Amino acid sequence: MDHQRHLQCLAWPQVEQLAAQPGSTVVWPWGAVEQHGPHLPLCTDGLFAERVLDAALASLDPALPILRLPLQSIGCSPEHRGFPGTLSLSPALLIELTVAVGQQLAAAGFQRLVLFNAHGGQIALLQTAARQLGLLSPELAVFPCFLWNGPEGIAELIPEPERSEGLHAGLAETSLMLHLAPQLVGQERPCDGTGLTIPTGWSLEAGAPLAWFSHNLSSSGVIGDARGASAALGERLFDLLVAGWRQRLDALLNSAWPAPH
């Protein structure tokens, strides 16, 4: 662990000095404790968020004023209810949590907060929380981003139909976990919840989405095809994710955003 990048590992005068620098930024990784099929751990999203973030931070200029918070490990995962081990907090509580932490970071002098989220089911929630925080602390610029959206080249590594149908614990997540923590991956390589009959013109995520629950789609909890998963693919995905987020954090730190108003 790179202690110099962990806010909670510093003493308050160090935080005070860092927060006072122009463009001071805090990154808050968000995961979920939710089922990821019979073969992946409940902590999958949080593990991905932390590993990609830490690798990206380690490659930045050490002089840049950027710190990370401890992982928010429990998120909002109602779509995975009913699978033992899934833990979920209410949207209202998580918005209140985000606003409370963000307001204190703003009061400490930080100018930006990146919500570095790896759970697809809370993208909209964190966008809402970010706007509410920005409303109450206008001096803080908030960036509610999603691990898998942004970095270039990811889609090209995932063949169709998995690229559009593999939403959860399929090829990409299984491969990435095989690269990062193979000891946490079980023997199964499920293919489930794909080729579904949904109403014409509707979709699971993009376009005109359905608010799906995993038990409507899949008995294993997997929505995708993990059969071709490999550590080699996981390594390529990890490298693209780290490079993409490294580039974005570096660009943010070297920008003047938020522009004066």
List residues binding Zn ion (CB under 5 A): 44-45
Run of H or E including 134: helix 123-136
- In this structure, the strands spanning 191-192 and 25-30 are unpaired
> Based on CB atoms, which residue is closest to Zn ion, 66 or 125?
125
Residue placing its CB nearer to Zn ion in the complex, 15 or 47: 47
| Minimum distance of Zn ion from residue 168's CB (angstroms) | 6
Instruction: Please report how close the Cβ of residue 241 comes to Zn ion at its closest, in angstroms.
Output: 13
Question: Cβ 212 to Zn ion, closest distance in Å?
Answer: 14
Cβ nearer to Zn ion, comparing 45 with 50: 45
Nearer to Zn ion, 18 or 42 (CB): 42
Chain center to CA of 141? 18
- Quote the least distance from Cβ 32 to Zn ion, whole Å: 7
d(CA 147, CA 151): 8
Helix, strand and coil in the chain, % to nearest 5: 45, 15, 45
Q: Of the two residues 45 and 225, which places its CB atom closer to Zn ion in the complex?
A: 45
**Closest separation in Å from C-beta 151 to Zn ion:** 16
Burial class (CB in 10 A: 0-12, 13-18, 19+), 93: exposed
What b-and-e string marks burial along 66-76, b requiring 16 or more CB atoms within 10 Å of the CB? Answer: bbbbebbbbbb
